[in-house]
Structure 1
Amino acid sequence: MGSGKTSWSIQYINKNPFANFLYITPFLEEVERIIRNTNRDFTQPINRGNGKLDAINELLACQADIASTHELFKHLDEESRENIKNGHYILILDEVLNVIEPYDNIRNDDMRLLKESGCVTVDDDGFVIWNKNKIDYDTKYNEIKILADNKSLIYINQKLLLWRYPPEIFTLFDEVYILTYLFEASILKNYFDLYKIGYEQKSISVQNKEYFITDFFVPNTSIYIEKINIYNGKLNENIHQKINSLSVTWFKAKINQDNIKQIKRNLYNYFSNILSAKADTIMWTTFKDYKSKLKGKGYSNQFVSCNCRSTNKYDKTYNLAYCVNVYLHPGITQFFKQKGVNINEELYGLSEMIQWIWRSRIRNGETINIYIPSMRMRNLLNEWMCMNLDYQNRIAS
């Protein structure tokens, strides 16, 4: 994080005036940054009545340079694919795309109805297939029909639907650059491995204000031991701890409601009494569904989503609280496991936490304070800062 990936992208775009670029980023503010800082006529798809998908397809057909969001990129259709291939586009993907996600727009009862009516079947690989004899049916399940036709829906254990991004889209571009840290921890890396999409890991270096792609190296993270002050006092001891404490499942359990109230008291104590922190220096998080249970006086409005990344909006904050314990959704883990791919959950959790922490002023090399009530996440951050280079390189390889 903060190594100059976006700056390299802007430089690369400016140095290749005859290439067609599709720049995809999580946030609209980063879309606007690319539009402002490149010497190209980048266009952002705008809904003029027929939806943003029609807008991006029109731009792709015209071989325009396009800057847009992850969300729109996830909805590219057959027309988009043809235009990308014909336009010889270069894709720059800012941060990894969520290529496998739970699909919650349909209940188990609906799925059973679709199967019993003969509208859908599930093939040997778990993909939901819409019956071609019923392709003209116009029902409330039209979205299911479209996703099934794209082989984007997977049925796991007869009870869970997952949305899958079509892997063939990545093969349509002349070049693909993915800007992220700890790629080896991501779902996208495991997805590429599963679908045999080749890739090379590289790093960014800067010399005389010019950015270069270099051979991959793992930076020495021990320099952050002096910059990240992890709280290690009594507030870590007044919560009953197990390895999965502060996970989504833990927050849901009624038995943990007293512990949740204690975390709320700890947050107030940490920010108000231990740090005497002013509101504009604070950044804190938990899972969105449990924000209301932890928010309190003096820090409520400083909440930053735990999956926030690719933004400099909070780079003046330095008093942090990370009140989550990150695990992959069990359906995603099960999907990969059935395919013979085991995901490193520890590395995944570490990556998610570091991405969040780097929204603060640590990205500028300045010191921060952080309270991490989860024993597991606290240990992961300590281990990351204390890793020697040989050990980091073994993980990366």
Structure 2
Amino acid sequence: MSITFIDSVMGSGKSTYAIKYINQHKYTTKIIVASPILDEVDRYAHNCGIQQPLDIPSKASNLRRLLQRGESVSISHALLLNIDEGMLGEIKAQGYELILDEVIADAINVHYTNKDTLETMVRAGLVNVDPDTQKITWLEAEDYEDHMDVRDACREGEVYAVDNQYIVSHLNTSIFEAFSKVQIMTYMAPYSMLAKLFMVKSVPFNIATLDQGRVVFQTPMYSGKQFASLIHLDNTPRRQLNFKLSVSGQGKLSKTKRNRLSSYTNGFFTRYGKGVRRSERIWTTYRAYAEALVPTGTRPQFDMNNFVQHSAKGTNQYSNASVAAYLVDKHPHPAVEKYLVKHRVPFARGTKSVPGDQGLWALSEMIQWIWRTRIRNKESIRLYVPSKRMKKLLEGWLQ
């Protein structure tokens, strides 16, 4: 088994490489290609002439039959994560390869952050916490209807207690270990949560990049200098904010500060959105605080109709967007940081001048979101990033 991250900037031909690879090998090699969204599942199936599971009676049962027949298939990330032990055995026995278009979202998850919750679950006999490994095992019935997220996480992956307070889960890496070869198409791979998870579980991997459509095993260049002329950042001084736009920071914003952020965002869209259709303007923040930011006036320049989730990846749905606002300051959850540090996996916070792993993870997440716009078509965009930290990270990448 070998795992290789094909680490190359968006628009550099990773999907083209994957399609070419499948078409060159599909008659001699059994391949599963997994994509984050259904449009991409369709695209791989069409361009590579391979099967995709039907939902009659279910996609899982249909996939099982296709694997038993040794067919190459195009599936979603969600279906990949639902592959059971029987299908994993079939994959291993038949020597399937996996091409993963983009890293799996939420490779590491945080469920509860209240110490009392974990202690209550232990006392109630719902879970057991191993004193040495801190691994959590579900003890209640499979149909128990309280704390279902932890129940399902225990069933589908691995769950651990962190500092006797947090409950952290991650996907089961045996999914990847069943394949004879794994290629993962992404950008800034070392800072992804999937790469960090592989480090936690001591799953070896390599990092390569693309050079004129060929895979080369060399250190990728993490520079966006070639896009500097296409991304026009809003530099209006009064729209650069000093208050925190992290998920916890936004939860603590006063009404006055929230209204300022809303007003400045509306002003940005008013200035640069003239003659631009609403569908060509997109914005994001943390979903829990999005509606509170929508202006209450009669003609708001942004609302929930052009809101795009900050974790969006893979989709081309917004590729005509020319004006965008990124109202997020991304930080990993403290429980994830503690979990990685406990397993001696590097995840430094960095300094004001050096971003560290956490800053580069945040940058990679922001770049992925920006790539939902028309910049993917090599067309220029206007971008508002009110967080000074995130703006500095992006400017450093562009320079």
- TM tier, shorter chain? 0.7 to 0.9
Residue 289 of structure 1 aligns with an amino acid whose one-letter code is A
Task: Check whether the contact 2:156–2:171 (CA below 8 A) recurs between aligned residues.
Answer: no
Post-superposition offset of 1:215: 3.4
User: 2:108 touches 2:169 (CA, 8 Å); kept in 1?
Assistant: yes
In structure 1, what residue type is equivalent to 2:15? T
Q: Secondary structure at the match of 1:262?
A: helix
Q: Are the structure 2 counterparts of residues 119 and 11 from structure 1 closer, same or farther at C-alpha, using a change threshold of 3 Å? A: same
> Which residue identity does 1:299 align to in structure 2?
F
Q: Is the 8 A contact 1:307 1:352 kept in 2?
A: yes
Normalized against structure 2, the TM-score is what?
0.85
Partner amino acid for 2:369?
Answer: W
Q: Which amino acid aligns with 2:181?
A: E
CA distance in structure 2 between the partners assigned to 1:179 and 1:71 by the alignment:
17
Q: In the superposition, relative to structure 1, how do residues 226 and 295 fare at CA in structure 2: closer, same or farther (>3 Å)?
A: same
1:375 positional shift: 0.6
SS in 2 for 1:229: strand
RMSD: 2.5
Q: Could you say what secondary structure the match of 1:91 adopts?
A: strand
Task: Render the CA deviation track for 1:177-220: whole Å, top value 9, x for unaligned.
Answer: 000011122111111222222222122233xxxx3222333165
Residues 173-182 or 280-289, more deviating: 280-289
Partner of 1:36: 46
Structure 2: gaps of 5 or more residues: 1-9, 348-356
Matches within 5 A, 1:244-255: 245-253=244-252, 255=253
Query: What residue number does 2:224 align with?
Result: 221
Equivalent of 1:201, from 196, 207, 213? 207
Aligned to 2:145: 140
- The residue aligned with 2:269 is 271
Seq. identity, %: 26
Cα separation, 2, equivalents of 1:293 and 1:330:
25
Q: Displacement, 1:45?
A: 4.8
Q: 1:268 to 1:75 in 2, by over 3 A?
A: same
Aligned equivalents of 2:16, 2:86: Cα separation in 1:
31
Residues 156 and 162 in structure 1, CA contact (< 8 A), matched pair in contact too: yes
Whole-angstrom distance in 1 between the partners of 2:110 and 2:75: 23
Q: Alignment length, in residue pairs?
A: 370
Give the whole-Å Cα distance in 2 for the aligned partners of 1:66 and 1:107. 42
Q: Distance in 2 between matches of 1:256 and 1:289?
A: 15
TM-score by length of 1: 0.85
Q: What letter matches 2:192 in structure 1?
A: S
Is 2:118–2:167's contact at 8 Å kept on the other side of the alignment?
no
Using the alignment, how far apart are the partners of 1:358 and 1:151 within structure 2? 30
Q: Secondary structure at the match of 1:201?
A: strand
Q: What's the CA shift for 1:130?
A: 4.2
Structure 1's 60 and 280: CA in aligned 2 closer, same or farther, altered over 3 A? same
The Cα of 1:162 is off from its aligned counterpart by: 1.9
Question: Which residue of structure 2 lines up, in the alignment, with residue 392 of structure 1?
Answer: none
Residue 88 of structure 1 and its aligned partner are, at CA, apart by 1.0
Equivalences for 1:283-298 in 2 at 5 Å? 283-296=282-295, 297-298=300-301
C-alpha distance in structure 1 between counterparts of 2:152 and 2:373, whole Å: 40
Shift of 1:276: 2.0
Q: 8 Å contact 2:111–2:150 — kept in the other structure? A: no
* C-alpha displacement of 1:140: 3.4
Counterpart of 1:256 in structure 2 is: 254
- Rounded to whole Å, the distance in 2 between the matches of 1:284 and 1:263 is 13
- Which is bigger in relative contact order (C-alpha 8 A, separation at least 6)? 2
